[in-house]
Amino acid sequence: MIVVLRLGHRIKRDKRISTHVALVARAFCANEIVFSGDEDRELICSVKKIVSEWGDEFKINYEKNWRNFLKRKKEEGFEIIHLTMYGLPITKLIEKIRISNKDKIIVVGGAKVPGEVYEIADFNVSITNQPHSEVAALAVFLHEFFQGKELEKKFDGKVRIIPQEKGKKIVRN
């Protein structure tokens, strides 16, 4: 069970980035996205719509109080993985994270991530120590975690793409 927690969503600035975070979580085989920060019904609706079209189980939720959420999940036995450019390199941690059988919360910021997140996390993982993107960090983390197997997943959507050398082929069931 893999849950992605997106911290500090801001309706005005983050709508598209947060949507990308959610869609990456889904496409790379996480089970759920939880948004924190501003409550944004439009964002939740638009992700739900994509899930209903493109298929498969994927939960979308909002948690006002991410502190309590993380504490609760930790008590339930979840391992907390925080993706941050300040953390230890993924190459050093991924094997350990992969081997552990625990359910996982993957935390991605957010403008300013509070210090507590670094403390409560079991692993602070960097995908390069350069500034780039929480969207990219999440994708590469999940890709490494699943060792590329996530790319083979079949989704049972109403809409499907038949991969083409040139052009587009979409099938609707």
Chain residues that interact with a second copy, rule: CB under 8 A: 13-14, 16-17, 20, 23-24, 26-28, 50, 54, 85-91, 115, 118-119, 121, 124, 126-133, 135-140, 143, 148, 150-153, 155, 160-161, 163-170
DSSP helix/strand/coil, 11 = helix
Q: Measured from the CB atom, is 169 or 172 closer to a second copy?
A: 169
Is 113 in contact with 84 (CB distance < 8 Å)?
yes
Spatial separation of the C-alpha atoms in residues 62 and 40, rounded to whole Å:
8
Query: CB of 10: closest distance to a second copy in angstroms?
Result: 11
55: left (phi over 0), alpha (psi -120 to 50) or beta: left
Write down the least CB distance from residue 127 to a second copy, Å. Answer: 7
Of the pair 55, 64, the CB lying nearest a second copy is at 55
| Shorter beta-carbon distance to a second copy: residue 61 or 128 | 128
- Closest alpha carbon to 122 in 137, 100, 139: 100
Please state, in angstroms and rounded to a whole number, the distance separating the CA atoms of residues 119 and 162.
45
What is the C-alpha separation between 8 and 11, in angstroms, rounded?
Answer: 10
Cβ at position 12, least distance to a second copy in Å: 11
Q: Which strand (E) or helix (H) includes residue 42?
A: helix 41-54
Residue 76: strand pairing partners? none
Q: Which is nearer to a second copy, 7 or 24 (CB)?
A: 24
Sign of the torsion formed by the C-alpha atoms of 76, 77, 81 and 82: positive
- Give least dist CB 164 to a second copy, A: 6
* Least distance CB 99 / a second copy (angstroms): 18
Which is closer to a second copy, CB of 41 or CB of 154?
154
